[in-house]
Amino acid sequence: MRVIAGSHGGRRLKAPRGRGTRPTSDRVREALFSMLGDLDESRVLDLFAGTGALGIEALSRGAGRAVFVERDRTVSRILGENLTDLEIDPERYELRRGEALRALRTARDRGEFYDLVFIDPPYADAVALGPKLSALLPALLAPGARIVTESDRRGRLAIDVPVTTERRYGDTSITIHTSPCPDPSAQ
């Protein structure tokens, strides 16, 4: 597994052994970031971050800052090693070890906003997480923010934010949601 493009393009990422972590494949990440386009100075939240491949790819392609949330101690250690090995400026990221829903509540309480959110939970949890994520995410979204969900096509993660793009790559379903921009004429 490697960073596809940008300032860290071609560099390898570490991944834990076994099947507990399922990093997004290079092919899917390449297609996804082609759809996302310019990330100039975006504020990124990478939930269920795993190896950090999605958030690191975003930083490599020009995102301004990324917050990585991963609950597994071993996996978060490997994510930290990936960030260090790539020599990413520590001012550009924060690694939060803990449960994703709790991290969202904490971010909401701190008044944080994000332009791009990656959500790639364990596939078995995706369906049950949809309503919980739908309740917490809106308070964290900047106007026009995009949310990228990755799930198994047979048990898709559905959140209550308008869908702009859906793609399937084998059994993997990628959905891009876009938060509505407030109507300036309504003020």
pLDDT at 183: 52
pLDDT at 186: 42
What is the pTM assigned to this prediction?
Answer: 0.92
pLDDT at 9: 87
Q: Report which DSSP code applies to 50.
A: T
Q: Which parts of the chain fold into alpha helices (H)?
A: 26-36, 53-60, 73-85, 100-110, 126-136
- In this structure, are residues 54 and 26 in contact, taking their beta carbons and an 8 Å threshold? no
pLDDT at 166: 94
Q: How far is CA 170 from CA 152, 163, 164, 174, 175, in A?
A: 9, 20, 20, 11, 14
Q: And the tokens for 115?
A: 């332009």
Q: And the tokens for 56?
A: 């690191």
What does the pLDDT profile of the chain (187 residues) look like in tens digits? 888 998 898 899 998 876 566 677 788 889 999 999 999 999 999 999 999 999 999 999 999 999 999 999 999 999 999 999 999 999 999 999 999 999 999 999 999 999 999 999 988 898 999 999 999 999 999 999 999 999 888 888 999 999 999 999 888 889 999 998 765 544 4
The CATH class that applies to domain 26-181 reads: alpha beta
Domain boundaries, the chain: 26-181
Distance from C-alpha of 159 to C-alpha of 129, rounded to nearest angstrom: 9
SS3 category, 78: helix
pLDDT at 182: 64
In what order do the strands lie in the sheet containing 163-169?
A: 93-97, 65-70, 43-47, 114-119, 141-152, 172-178, 163-169
